[in-house]
Amino acid sequence: MPADSTSTAASDAPPVPVTGWGRTSPTAARLIRPRTYEEAAAAVRACGARGGIARGLGRAYGDAAQNAGGAVLDMTGLDRVHAIDADGGTVLCDAGVSLHRLMQALLALGWFVPVTPGTRHVTVGGAIGADIHGKNHHVSGSFTRHVLALELLTADGEIRTVSRGTPLFDATAGGMGLTGVVLAATVRLQPVETSLMSVDTERAKDLDDLMARLTATDHRCRYSVAWIDLLARGTSLGRSVLTRGDHAPVDALPTRARRDPLAYRPVRFPAAPSFVPEGLLGRTTVGLFNELWYRKAPRARAGELQTLSAFFHPLDGVPHWNRLYGRGGFVQYQFVVGYGQEGALRRIVSRISRRRCPSFLAVLKRFGEGDPGWLSFPMPGWTLALDLPANLPGLGAFLDELDEEVAAAGGRVYLAKDARLRPELLAAMYPRLDEFRALRAELDPAGVFTSDLSRRLGL
């Protein structure tokens, strides 16, 4: 089986298969697991001709944390929380610390991570390398907006303190680990009174209805996201369930919950089986799920209390849920198009619907102002993320066509989820690509830091 984050101490270890969370395109690499900064520096020096790339908990969907024939540095051995400033609201921690671990440490003190994606099982280093975003981007931006400084191990073996506003910081934020290995970071936190969320849920009858609701009310909510039925057609095209929320204050809790308002106890269900029949998440099953999910959602409900894990990370409750797509794995496709390009979004949703693409997990969100990372994904506009079984006939050619439509609309795809983008579209999607390449050439002329993603796209 492909490795998720296998522990390896020696640089001469035999290669093992490594893949992303989508479980497509595994390649073999030597896995090295440093436990100190000195071991990390030694691992970088020992990468060899094929170079190396840092890896966290293996939740990048594509090939960003793979390195065929080279080394992969499993950074989860560097997992110390060095200092929490409970008055000022900052934390200094190693790059291998997971957001889950931070939540455990911070919530009891009345603090929460500033940005979390759909899983808490990502490391701080991975959050910086992919410049992750969450349901609150329209308010809070992406993760690196809240990073005050970081420690970066560069190709020359130096450990540099990198501050916000510098070219190296902006190249590292969203730079997919290609400027160096993040060793530690200081992160600004979000204050909270409780570990519960106050959640409003409503249905939207179609895509235009959904966009109108989001445009009119997003500024009132810290978090918002819409599950979208990409199999719906006709007058129901893009029908959705819109969920919005904020951290619940203490006075919103029932009396019993006020005794321990910051309790954090994520629910864990049995893991997905190691073998799942191919086609389990096909058009029939996904179509049935979508119908039931839309029908069971309330037309309008306000102020429901939900746990953090239920609101932010429902799939984390099922370990190895990615196995549900079978051995062929799945492709997670996410793009963004700017405000004013709603026509492009409608055309893409319509094309997906007409092709009857069975997307079990499809979400639409609004992005706020972009962050300064040269390869950061978010930009002001609409972002749609969907999953598709990798073995769908003609999927590659179909997604190529969507890429071209996204690029023509001035949009981009998310590199942390990509495993198939054609390199000739990259410059159109990321206008600061040449600056990124120039800084990399200056900082790492021998190409010490490399990955399957960087080779495929010429990064």
Contacts of residue 424, defined as CB under 8 A and 6 or more positions apart, other chains included, come to: none
- The greatest distance separating any two alpha carbons of the chain, rounded to the nearest whole angstrom, comes to 62
User: 């390398």: which residue's tokens?
Assistant: 129
Confidence band (pLDDT; 50, 70, 90) for 2? very low
Q: Is the pLDDT at 278 greater than 80, yes or no?
A: no
Give the per-residue pLDDT at 153.
Answer: 98
Q: Taking the CA of residue 321 as centre, how many other CA atoms within 13 Å lie in the half-sphere pointing to its CB?
A: 17
Contacts of residue 324, defined as CB under 8 A and 6 or more positions apart, other chains included, come to: 272, 276, 280, 281, 360
Residue 305's DSSP bridge partners are 198
- C-alpha 40/C-alpha 54 separation (Å) is 10
Give the per-residue pLDDT at 400.
Answer: 98
pLDDT digits 0-9 by tens, 413-430? 999 999 999 999 999 999
pLDDT digits 0-9 by tens, 89-148? 999 999 999 999 999 999 999 999 999 999 999 999 999 999 999 999 999 999 999 999
Average pLDDT over residues 428-448: 97
Q: Which whole-number Å values give the CA distances from 176 to 53, 128, 311, 411, 453, in the listed order?
A: 9, 8, 27, 19, 9
State residue 275 phi and psi, 5-degree precision: -120, 125
Q: Is the pLDDT at 264 greater than 60, yes or no?
A: yes
Q: Taking the CA of residue 115 as centre, how many other CA atoms within 13 Å lie in the half-sphere pointing to its CB?
A: 24
The SS3 assignment for 295 reads helix
Q: Is the pLDDT at 310 greater than 70, yes or no?
A: yes
Q: Is the pLDDT at 448 greater than 90, yes or no?
A: yes
- C-alpha 65/C-alpha 32 separation (Å) is 13
Strand order in the sheet with 52-55: 16-18, 27-32, 71-74, 52-55
DSSP code per residue over 159-209? EEEEETTSHHHHHHTTSTT-S-EEEEEEEE-EE-S-SEEEEEEEEESSHHH
State residue 178 phi and psi, 5-degree precision: -90, -5
Residue 379's DSSP bridge partners are none
Average pLDDT over residues 216-233: 95
Q: Is the pLDDT at 14 greater than 70, yes or no?
A: yes
pLDDT digits 0-9 by tens, 46-92? 999 999 999 999 999 999 999 999 999 999 999 999 999 999 999 99
Average pLDDT over residues 179-204: 98
- C-alpha 436/C-alpha 168 separation (Å) is 9
Higher pLDDT, 246 or 269: 246
Give the per-residue pLDDT at 216.
Answer: 93
Q: Which whole-number Å values give the CA distances from 421 to 62, 110, 434, in the listed order?
A: 10, 41, 18
Q: Is the pLDDT at 3 greater than 50, yes or no?
A: no
User: 């600056």: which residue's tokens?
Assistant: 435
